[in-house]
Amino acid sequence: VYPNPAENQIQVAIPNTMNQVFYQVYDMNGAKVKEGNFNNTMNTLNVADLSSGLYTIRLINGNSSSSQNFIRK
């Protein structure tokens, strides 16, 4: 996930071995603020509508998941 910190969008790289990845974005309080699907190895997510602060993006593919924090300026 880059750039970090982000202003208007983040780039999310998905390994070639994953076909479709479901994402969820959570704020510092644990509230889900965005969700959707990524279908490409390189994806752009608009975060301009999010308030400044720390967020966690969770990527889910089948039975596996990973999370990464990012800062919205």
> Is 19's pLDDT higher than 80?
no
Q: Give the other-Cβ count within 10 Å of 1's Cβ.
A: 15
> Is 16's pLDDT higher than 90?
no
pTM, two decimal places: 0.93
How far is the C-alpha of 71 from the C-alpha of 55, rounded, in Å?
A: 6
- pLDDT tens, residue by residue, 34-43: 999 999 999 9
How far is the C-alpha of 29 from the C-alpha of 51, rounded, in Å?
A: 13
